[in-house]
């Protein structure tokens, strides 16, 4: 166990942590950091989608009081796995929301996809500090989520390396002096590929990210650059800027995680090695900092940093996301839902790589404009967009 920073805290003074999506990469990185600072944090609740064995192991290893599996059919398996450990078991979507409504001061929202929306919103509504690693919350329901953040008084702390970088260098009290924010993108595994070559891309090639270790879905989003499009929409909700003030710059080394340009010509950047434990540590300890085991930068060994303008022709997902950013949150809900369905079909080899963006574009053209002011309306629009995307994919397969 590495040396601990700071004076030890009384058990009652330790920050309680709930991890939504504990068995994913964000969840595991969060628990790694928590375990390195037992004087500062305690684990209250862990959740997972369906991986009962891993959830039970993590709950026992980290001393959690409660473990929740999203799949209600796995409740008995989880209860049996935790028998005699003292860890309580629960299951189902309602149990996920109840977990988020617990007493933890910090909630890591690491559930991938729209399934994370309801529990994340529940944590926000009770005023918890929330580490947001779920893009869909702001892409689909940004206006709703941010209104609840303002009402409840908690802090929404962005975990994505790009938004976390902006968070660290954005002077909110001087927002009027910000010229623009610049989201950096690695360019993904197909940065130098032609459109023709990408047309033959396999799921294995798409998930082989050159810099980051991520789950399959977000890795495909990186390959299409949809992830950067979704991040533009997120940034609009997180920071007091207009759509025209949000830019993307390709930076293959993934060392500069994003930048903020001010009116006086100053550009402030946050740098770090491509290790998600750095932004997670920033959120966990905010407003303080804690030691993280991320490799330290050696700029002399790195030698140079390079940059390119994004190619909207080869990566049309960026163009679609820009359209949704300027059109409003309803279009973004359709964008996200159709993309999830299309990516799943690609990973299942039922759809070609280039057809991911094509499917999303057709869904945007098909689903009528709707106004969403409640979570139920967002969920309904999300479901409609998924239905349309599935129909487009099924028709393409004939």
3-state SS, residue 184: strand
| Whether residue 199 has pLDDT greater than 80 | yes
First vs last C-alpha separation in the chain = 57
Q: What are phi and psi of 206, to 5 degrees?
A: -70, -30
Task: Output phi, psi for 216, to 5 deg.
Answer: -65, -45
Task: Note whether 69 and 48 are within 8 A (CB).
Answer: yes
Q: pLDDT: is 70 or 135 the higher one?
A: 70
> Which tens digit of pLDDT belongs to each residue from 292-339?
999 999 999 989 999 999 999 999 999 999 999 998 778 999 999 999
> Nearest 5°: CA angle at 169, between 166 and 173?
105
Three-state DSSP class for 7? coil
CATH placement of domain 328-398: 1.10.1740.10
Phi, psi (deg, nearest 5) at residue 270 = -110, 130
Residue pointed to by tokens 């409840």: 152
CB 99 within 8 A of CB 125: no
Percent of the chain clearing pLDDT 70 (strictly above): 96
Q: Residue 48, SS3?
A: strand
The residue ranking higher by pLDDT, 344 or 329, is 344
Region 244-251 average pLDDT = 96
Q: Are 121 and 137 in contact (CB under 8 A)?
A: yes
Listed range (189-198, 213-222, 305-314, 375-384) with the worst mean pLDDT: 213-222
Calculate the average pLDDT of the chain.
Answer: 92
The pLDDT of residue 369: 76
Q: Taking residues 17-33, what's their average pLDDT?
A: 96
Q: Is the pLDDT of residue 393 over 90?
A: yes
Q: DSSP character for 308?
A: B
Question: pLDDT digit string (tens) for 40-53?
Answer: 999 999 999 999 99
Pairing state of beta strands 178-185 and 256-262? Answer: antiparallel
Q: For residue 243, name the pLDDT band (cuts at 50, 70, 90).
A: very high
Rounded Cα distance between 89 and 96, Å, is: 11
Going by C-alpha positions, the residue among 58, 83, 76, 78 that lies closest to residue 68 is 78
> HSE of 394 in the Cβ direction (CA atoms, 13 Å)?
6
Q: Is the pLDDT of residue 16 over 90?
A: yes
Ranges of beta strands (E only) in the chain are 15-20, 41-48, 66-69, 88-91, 106-109, 129-132, 156-158, 178-185, 246-250, 256-262, 267-271
Domains 11-158 and 328-398 share a fold: no
Q: Name the nearest CA neighbour of 130 among 156, 153, 165.
A: 156
Beta bridge partners of 271: 256
| C-alpha closest to that of 347 among 230, 231, 223 | 223
Averaged pLDDT for residues 10-31: 89
Cis, peptide link before residue 287, omega less than 30° from 0: yes
Strand partners, 19: 46, 108
Q: Among 3.40.50.720, 3.30.10.20, 3.40.225.10, 1.10.240.10, name the CATH number for the domain at 11-158.
A: 3.40.50.720
Per-residue pLDDT, 3: 32
User: Any idea where the domains of the chain sit in the sequence?
Assistant: 11-158, 171-274+297-323, 328-398
Please, are residues 136 and 113 in contact by the beta-carbon 8 Å criterion? yes
Does 225 have pLDDT greater than 80? Answer: yes
pLDDT at 1 over 60: no
> What pLDDT is stored for residue 212 in this prediction?
63
Looking at residues 118-133, what average pLDDT do you find? 95
* Mean pLDDT confidence for 226-254: 95
Q: Would you state the pLDDT for residue 213?
A: 62
Instruction: Judge contact between 229 and 209, C-beta under 8 A.
Output: no
The least confident of 3-7, 21-25, 116-120, 248-252 is 3-7
Cα–Cα separations (whole angstroms), residue 327 to 99, 319, 320? 35, 12, 10
């Amino acid at each position: 166990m590495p040396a601990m920073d700071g004076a030890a805290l009384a058990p009652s003074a330790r920050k309680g942590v709930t991890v939504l999506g504990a068995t994913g990469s964000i969840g595991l990185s969060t628990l790694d950091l928590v375990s390195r600072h037992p004087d500062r944090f305690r684990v209250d609740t862990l959740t997972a989608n369906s991986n009962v064995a891993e959830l039970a192991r993590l709950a026992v290893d980290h001393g959690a009081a409660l473990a929740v599996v999203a799949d209600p059919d796995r409740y008995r398996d989880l209860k049996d796995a935790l028998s005699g450990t003292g860890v309580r078991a629960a299951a189902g979507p309602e149990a996920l929301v109840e977990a988020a409504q617990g007493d933890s001061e910090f909630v890591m929202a690491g559930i991938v996809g729209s399934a994370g929306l309801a529990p994340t919103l529940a944590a926000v509504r009770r005023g918890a500090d929330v580490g947001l690693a779920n893009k869909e919350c702001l892409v689909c329901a940004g206006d709703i989520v941010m209104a609840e953040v303002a009402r409840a008084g908690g802090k929404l702390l962005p975990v994505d390396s790009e938004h976390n970088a902006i968070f660290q260098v954005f002077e909110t009290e001087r927002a009027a002096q910000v010229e623009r924010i610049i989201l950096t993108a690695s360019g993904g595994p197909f940065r130098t590929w032609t459109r023709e070559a990408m047309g033959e891309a396999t799921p294995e090639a798409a998930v082989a990210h050159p810099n980051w270790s991520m789950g399959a879905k977000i890795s495909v989003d990186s390959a299409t650059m949809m992830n950067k499009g979704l991040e533009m929409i997120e940034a609009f909700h997180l920071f007091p800027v207009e759509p025209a003030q949000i830019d993307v710059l390709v930076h293959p080394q993934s060392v500069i995680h994003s930048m903020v340009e001010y009116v006086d010509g100053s550009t402030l950047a946050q740098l770090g090695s491509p290790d998600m434990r750095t932004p997670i540590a920033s959120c966990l300890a905010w407003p303080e900092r804690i030691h993280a085991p991320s490799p330290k930068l050696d700029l002399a060994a790195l030698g140079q940093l390079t940059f390119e303008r994004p190619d909207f022709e080869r990566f049309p997902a960026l163009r679609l996301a820009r359209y949704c950013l300027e059109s409003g949150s309803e279009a973004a809900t359709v964008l996200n839902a159709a993309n999830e369905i299309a990516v799943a079909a690609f990973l299942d080899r039922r759809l070609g790589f280039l057809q991911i963006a094509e499917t999303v574009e057709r869904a945007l053209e098909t689903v009528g404009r709707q106004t969403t002011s409640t979570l139920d309306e967002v969920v309904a629009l999300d479901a409609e967009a998924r239905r349309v995307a599935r129909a487009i994919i099924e028709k393409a397969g004939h």
